[in-house]
Amino acid sequence: MIGAGGNNLPSDPLERQRWLKDAETVGAEIVKRGGILISGGMDGIMEASCKGAYEQGGITVGTPGRERNASNKYVTVEICTPIEVGDYLFAGLLSCDVIIVFPGGAVTLAEMALAYRFKKPMYYERI
């Protein structure tokens, strides 16, 4: 799952809450269908989707960068990488069967470009 970190979420509180609730619902649905959630493991869409998956008893994988224990509290498996920005591009993207895309910023766009490059199916969550 890719999408906005906390600083790229809408400033309108109601819109922000709607995005996060949608991500949480999608995270839960991934687990209900037998999947494992892989994300950057940080805040925003990543945390909300991890929360949904975690609360369903699922496995959540986060790729937060260099520092151990930097992931959100709903990540059950943390994979540290030698880079700070774009860690999901290298540690998460190729491990996924499908990429679920929520709106985001430049990193989300870069992740989408590489998913396209590696012919990963993408689902765009319209919110």
Using one digit for the tens of pLDDT, what is the confidence trace for 37-77? Answer: 999 999 999 999 999 999 999 999 998 888 889 899 999 99
Which residues form the domain of 82?
Answer: 6-124
Has residue 1 been placed in a domain? no
pLDDT above 80 (res 1): yes
Range list of H helices, 4-44: 13-32
Q: Which residues contact 11 (CB under 8 A, 6 or more apart)?
A: none
- Partnered with residue 2 across adjacent β-strands are 101
Q: Can you give the CATH number for the domain in which 33 is found?
A: 3.40.50.450
Tens-place pLDDT, residues 94-117:
889 999 999 999 888 988 998 999
Distance (Å, whole) CA 77 – CA 59: 7
**Strand-strand pairing, 60-65 and 77-80:** parallel
pLDDT above 90 (res 25): yes
pLDDT above 80 (res 91): no
Instruction: Count structural domains, the chain.
Output: 1
Has residue 68 been placed in a domain? yes
